[in-house]
Amino acid sequence: MSGTQCYEWLKLFKEGRISVGEGPRPGRPSTSTNDDHVERFRAAIRRNRRLTLREVSYEVDISIGSYHQIFTEKLQMRRVSAKSVPRLLTDDQKENRVEINQELLAKVNGNEHFLKTTVTGD
């Protein structure tokens, strides 16, 4: 770190600054990560989870950097095997999974030929 930078920080701390983290920066705030873009992004992902990064950013009309911010921070998602999936399940989703698995387990236990049966279109 240069001496000039040290003196600048010393001056800021004498003026009342209490942390070394970055403060607010001047300029226009980002508008591409607003609620409207997040909802459009979520809808695009729900329609087709196999969309590429470029396809979604083109459809929603946002930059690649904003795509990453919305995808990872706002929606808490990640890419898994070419599909977009939530990082964490909500409580409702967890309960739904438990109910479905219990129903399937009951069907398996009640019918020894469960996997051998076929569904007909009657």
Residue closest to 56 by CA, chosen among 70, 72, 69, 45: 45
Give the residue among 84, 1, 82, 73 at the shortest CA–CA distance from 30: 73
CATH architecture, domain defined by 30-109:
Orthogonal Bundle (1.10)
Q: Which amino acid is at 99?
A: E
pTM of the model: 0.42
Per-residue pLDDT of the chain (122 residues; tens, 9 = 90+): 788 888 888 888 888 877 777 666 666 666 667 788 788 888 888 888 777 778 887 888 888 788 788 878 877 777 655 555 666 777 888 888 889 989 988 888 888 776 765 665 54
The full set of domain ranges for the chain reads 30-109
